[in-house]
Amino acid sequence: MDCVIGLQPVILRGIYQQRHIYIFIMEGIKHISFDLWYTLIQSDHSYKPKRDQLFKDTFQVARSLEEINTQFKYFDILINAINEKTGGQGTFHEIYYHLLAALGVDIRQVHTEQLDAYYAATEKLFFQHRPTLIDPETPALFQDLRDMGYTISLLSNTAYIPGATLRQLMPEWGIDGYFDFQLYSDEEGTSKPAAKFYQLMFDRVNKMYPVTKEQILHVGDNPIADVKGGSNFGVKTLLLPPDTTLSALLRPVFRKATAVK
């Protein structure tokens, strides 16, 4: 049963309703899947300039820092677009070789060991300038959802920062203990919006207890990867609009809900 109140845009099952929030009674929902970047966390603005300088120094890139930053942004968008079309996932080495070639570096002279060493240095830098929770109330929200009986997981596309690095920061953000499992595209070789990635999530939930697709809700900020991908697979979807916190979006939705077990 759906009821409509409020004044903010949300997508539920891929349907956009201008100026309304769908507050739906969560009858039958057992599991909630969350996107990570720009749904739960955001970058530290001081990280990328330092990353660009490290990249320039490590590979002796002759181009300016401004162009390096532009190419990082371009390939981030390009990789996401390709993944959305193919459902695949470029490897770490492939992504960085494309980036180096675009910046005029002879990649025949760059060995994979050099890329690995660069990433080790980048990871240290990343930990010094860590992403932060977009909504500081996220741990409390997750606790409430767990108390209501829902299980929770993470379904995240990755590019420059792999899942192995992100996992290490979960305890600091205070959300690690709430996830029953975490799935990252670089580790699984597939990415949203591909049905294969959603299938992996669906299979993992079914290892915990029997569940149908209609009993799963996926929440994210990307209309294609999170909403279209999830809806096409058959799970319920909820879009986090820009400038809306997760708590502001979800607390009204789940306030009167009771997980069905």
- Residues 207 and 229: their CA atoms lie apart, in Å, by 22
Task: Give the number of other CB atoms < 10 A from CB of residue 153.
Answer: 20
Q: What's residue 87's pLDDT?
A: 85
CATH says 2-42+134-254 is which class?
Answer: alpha beta
Predicted confidence pLDDT, tens digits, the chain (261 residues): 233 222 233 444 443 343 344 445 466 899 999 999 999 999 999 999 999 999 999 999 999 999 999 999 999 999 888 888 888 888 889 999 999 999 999 999 999 999 999 999 999 999 999 999 999 999 999 999 999 999 999 999 998 999 999 999 999 999 999 999 999 999 999 999 999 999 999 999 999 999 999 999 999 999 999 999 999 999 999 999 998 999 998 887 776 554 444
Expressed in angstroms, the distance from the first to the final Cα of the chain is 18
pLDDT at 255: 62
Domain ranges of the chain: 2-42+134-254, 47-128
Which residues does residue 220 pair with via DSSP β-bridges, in sequence order?
239
Buried b (16+ CB within 10 A) or exposed e, 60-70: ebeeeeebbbe
Find the length of the chain: 261
